[in-house]
C-alpha cells in the first residue's frame, strides 16, 4: 500500500482548512528530483519583458531539503535564486555572469564546494563573485580549506535564518564596495578624458600614493593614522584629486603651452570646484570616509608646506596628510611624463626637484618616505610606461614619439 | 506562537526550529516535511544498497547528505543516528556500519509513525 506523506485533513481547527493532499513517496521523490533542484525564481512569476534587477544568488546543494529551505529564505530576503545540485552545473551558470553570490554545500557530486570556489577564483571575472560555503560544526578543517580556496564566508548547517540574512548582507556590502571603487575610478577617468595628454597619470599616481602611505604606516608618528584602511582609501580616492577640472573651460585646460597669470587663476579653481562638489556629497553621507578623504585631497593637493600654495594657503600639518602625500605623487608624475609645457624629466632630475622642495613645497616626512621607497616608485613608473605604450594605438604612439 | 500539537511528533522534529527556518510558513513547513520524507526514503535505499556492496565511501557520502537534510529539517534524533552511521563508515568499520544502520532504520520507523500526527497551529 502506498504510504501517505501529508494529510492536511488532520490540521487543527485553528488553521485554515486546506485541500487534502495525498502523495506516495515515489511521487514526491520524483517530483523532488524534477522540480525542487531546478528551482529558479528568475523565471517563475516574473514578467519576462522587464529585466529582473534582484541580486542573483546561486544555491549549490545536492541535499534538496537544505536547498529548498535556503532558497525560500533567500527569496523572502529579496534575492533572485537559482538552485542546482552539482558544482559543474554551478560553474557553467556562474560563467553567465548572472550571479553575484554563491551559497554552496561542501560535498557534492562531480565537484566539491571548495573546488567550485577554487575554479571560480582562478578565472578573471569582470565582477567579483561572493562565495559562502556551508559547513558542519565538527568540520573545522573545511574552514581552512575553504579559505584557501577563496571562500568569503561560511554558514554552519543547520543554518539559522537570521545568520543567513546577516551573511548575505555582508556579501552585498562587499559587492557594493566593488561597485563604489569602480565608480570612483570611472569618475576620475572621465575628468582625465578631457585631458588625454596625461595618459596613465591616475593609475601611476595612485600607486605612488599607496607606496608612500605604506612607508609612513611603519613610522611611529603616523602609525595611529595610517593603517590598512587609510592606505586603501587613499589609493581609491587620490585619482579624484583633479575632478574639479570638469569645471575648467577648454581654452584653459587644453591650452597648448604655458598659461597666462589670468588663465592660471582660472586653472587654480579646479581645487575648490572639486573640493566643494565632494564636500556637498560628504554632507549628505557623513559616515562615508572615502568622500571625506576625496574632498580633502581635491581641496589641498596644491597647498604647500610653507603656506604659499592654493586655494587656502594652508601650511605644515594643517594640510591633511592625504593632501601632502598626493602633492608629492602628483608632482613626481607630472615631472616624469611629457606635458605640453615641458619635456619628460628623468627620475634623477625629478628626485632633485622633490628633494629641493622638502620643507617648502612638500612635507619633509613625505619626501623622506619617497626617498626610502624610491626604487619601488621608479619600478611603477617604468612598468606603467610600458603598459601605456603597449595599449597606445600606433598613430598615437608615433605622435607621442615625434 | 506556533507549536506542535502532538507529543510524539515533537520528539522526532523540533517544530519551533523548523518553523523558524520556514519563516513561520506552515504550508512551506509541510512541504519541507514531505520533501524530507521522500529524500530519506530514497537515501535509505541507497544506503542499504551501498552497505550490501560494502561500499563504505558511498555510505559516508550519502550519510553526509542525509545528515544535512535532517539537521535543516530539525529532525535531530535521526540526524544523530545518521551522524553515527557516517562516522562508522568514515572509520571503515563495516560491522559498526551495519549496526548503526539498523539504528537509523529504527529511528526512521519512529519518524514515519509520528509524522502523520504532526499538527501545527497558530495561537493569537
- Range A39-174 classified under CATH 3.40.50.2300: yes
Model's pTM, two decimal places?
Answer: 0.58
Interface of B with A in 18-77 (CB under 8 A): 20-23, 25-28, 30-39, 41-42, 61, 64-69, 71-74
Task: Pick the residue from chain A with its C-alpha nearest to B123.
Answer: A14
Please tell me the distance from the alpha carbon of residue B75 to that of residue B94, in angstroms, as a whole number: 25
Task: Pick the residue from chain B with its C-alpha nearest to A7.
Answer: B116
Give the burial class of A294: count Cβ atoms within 10 A of its Cβ; 0-12 exposed, 13-18 middle, 19 or more buried: buried
Beta pairing class for A153-157 and B120-122: unpaired
Answer whether B35 sits within 8 Å of A161, measured CB to CB: no
Contact A105, A113 (CB under 8 A): yes
Stretch among A310-314, B3-7, B87-91 having the lowest mean pLDDT: B3-7
Q: Which sequence spans correspond to the domains of chain A? A: 1-38, 39-174, 196-401
Task: Pick the residue from chain B with its C-alpha nearest to A162.
Answer: B21
Judged by a CB distance cut-off of 8 A, whether residue B121 touches chain A is yes
Residues in chain A with CB shorter than 8 Å from the CB of B74 are 158
Give pLDDT tens digits for B44-56.
999 999 999 999 9
pLDDT attached to residue A229: 83
Task: Identify the three-state secondary structure at position A341.
Answer: coil
Q: How many CB atoms lie within 10 A of CB B28?
A: 18
Give A242's strand partners.
Answer: none
Please tell me the distance from the alpha carbon of residue A11 to that of residue A61, in angstroms, as a whole number: 31
pLDDT > 70 in chain A, percent: 79
Which of A10, A31, A65 is the best residue to mutate to test the B interface, defined by the most B CB atoms within 10 Å of its own CB? A65
Supply the DSSP string of A101-151, one letter for each residue: EEEE-SS-SSS-HHHHHHHHHHS--SS--EEEEEEETT-HHHHHHHHHHT-
Q: At what angle do helices A374-391 and A364-372 cross, to 10 degrees?
A: 70
**A39-174 and A196-401 agree in CATH topology:** no
Give pLDDT tens digits for B79-109.
999 999 999 999 999 999 999 999 999 999 9
Residues in chain B with CB shorter than 8 Å from the CB of A134 are 68
Domain at A196-401, CATH homologous superfamily:
Hypothetical protein af1432 (1.10.3210.10)
Q: Which domains does chain B have, with CATH numbers?
A: 2-122 (1.20.120.160)
Give pLDDT tens digits for A118-144.
999 988 676 789 999 998 756 677 888
Residues in chain A with CB shorter than 8 Å from the CB of B71 are 136, 157-158
Give the burial class of A319: count Cβ atoms within 10 A of its Cβ; 0-12 exposed, 13-18 middle, 19 or more buried: buried
The ipTM estimated for the assembled molecules is 0.88
Residues in chain B with CB shorter than 8 Å from the CB of A137 are none
Distances (CA, A) of A281 to A176, A190, A323: 18, 18, 19
Q: How many CB atoms lie within 10 A of CB A285?
A: 11
Amino acid at each position: 500500500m502506498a504510504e501517505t506523506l501529508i494529510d492536511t485533513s488532520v490540521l487543527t481547527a485553528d488553521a485554515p482548512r486546506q485541500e487534502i493532499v495525498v502523495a506516495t513517496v515515489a511521487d514526491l521523490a520524483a517530483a523532488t528530483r524534477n522540480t525542487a533542484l531546478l528551482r529558479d525564481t528568475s523565471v517563475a512569476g516574473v514578467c519576462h519583458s522587464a529585466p529582473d534587477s534582484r541580486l542573483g544568488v546561486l544555491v549549490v546543494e545536492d541535499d534538496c531539503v537544505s536547498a529548498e529551505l535556503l532558497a525560500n529564505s533567500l527569496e523572502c530576503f529579496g534575492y533572485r535564486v537559482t538552485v542546482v545540485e552539482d558544482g559543474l552545473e554551478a560553474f557553467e551558470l556562474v560563467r553567465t555572469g548572472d550571479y553575484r553570490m554563491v551559497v554552496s554545500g561542501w560535498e557534492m557530486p562531480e565537484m566539491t564546494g571548495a573546488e567550485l570556489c577554487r575554479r571560480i577564483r582562478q578565472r578573471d571575472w569582470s565582477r567579483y563573485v561572493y562565495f559562502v560555503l556551508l559547513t558542519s560544526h565538527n568540520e573545522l578543517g573545511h574552514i581552512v580549506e575553504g579559505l584557501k580556496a577563496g571562500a568569503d564566508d561560511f554558514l554552519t548547517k543547520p543554518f539559522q535564518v537570521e545568520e543567513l540574512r546577516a551573511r548575505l548582507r555582508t556579501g552585498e556590502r562587499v559587492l557594493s564596495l566593488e561597485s563604489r571603487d569602480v565608480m570612483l575610478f570611472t569618475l576620475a577617468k572621465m575628468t582625465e578624458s578631457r585631458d588625454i595628454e596625461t595618459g596613465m597619470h591616475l593609475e601611476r599616481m595612485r600607486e605612488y600614493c599607496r607606496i608612500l602611505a605604506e612607508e609612513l604606516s611603519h613610522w611611529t608618528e603616523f602609525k595611529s593614522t595610517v593603517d590598512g584602511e587609510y592606505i586603501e582609501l587613499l589609493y581609491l580616492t587620490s585619482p579624484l584629486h583633479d575632478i574639479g577640472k570638469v569645471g575648467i573651460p577648454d581654452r584653459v585646460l587644453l591650452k597648448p603651452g604655458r598659461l597666462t597669470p589670468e588663465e592660471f587663476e582660472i586653472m587654480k579653481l579646479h581645487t575648490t570646484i572639486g573640493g566643494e562638489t565632494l564636500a556637498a556629497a560628504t554632507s549628505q553621507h557623513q559616515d562615508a570616509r572615502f568622500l571625506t578623504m576625496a574632498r580633502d585631497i581635491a581641496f589641498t593637493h596644491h597647498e604647500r608646506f610653507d603656506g604659499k600654495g592654493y586655494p587656502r594657503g594652508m601650511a605644515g600639518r594643517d594640510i591633511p596628510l592625504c593632501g601632502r602625500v598626493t602633492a608629492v605623487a602628483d608632482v613626481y608624475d607630472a615631472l616624469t611624463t611629457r606635458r605640453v609645457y615641458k619635456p619628460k624629466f628623468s627620475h634623477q632630475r625629478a628626485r632633485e626637484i622633490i628633494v629641493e622642495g622638502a620643507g617648502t613645497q612638500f612635507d619633509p616626512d613625505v619626501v623622506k618616505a619617497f626617498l626610502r621607497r624610491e626604487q619601488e616608485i621608479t619600478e611603477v613608473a617604468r612598468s606603467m610606461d610600458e603598459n601605456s605604450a603597449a595599449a597606445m594605438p600606433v598613430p598615437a604612439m608615433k605622435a607621442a614619439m615625434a | 506562537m506556533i507549536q506542535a500539537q502532538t507529543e510524539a511528533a515533537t520528539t522526532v522534529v523540533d517544530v519551533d526550529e523548523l518553523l523558524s527556518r520556514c519563516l513561520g510558513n506552515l504550508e512551506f513547513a509541510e512541504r519541507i516535511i514531505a520533501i524530507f520524507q521522500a529524500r530519506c526514503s530514497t537515501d535509505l535505499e541507497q544506503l542499504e544498497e551501498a552497505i550490501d556492496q560494502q561500499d563504505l565511501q558511498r555510505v559516508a557520502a550519502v550519510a553526509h547528505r542525509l545528515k544535512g537534510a535532517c539537521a535543516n529539517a530539525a529532525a535531530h534524533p535521526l540526524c544523530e543516528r545518521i551522524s553515527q552511521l557516517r562516522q562508522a563508515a568514515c572509520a571503515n568499520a563495516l560491522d559498526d556500519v551495519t549496526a548503526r544502520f539498523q539504528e537509523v532504520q529504527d529511528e526512521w520507523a519512529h519518524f514515519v509513525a509520528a509524522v502523520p500526527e504532526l499538527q501545527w497551529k497558530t495561537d493569537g
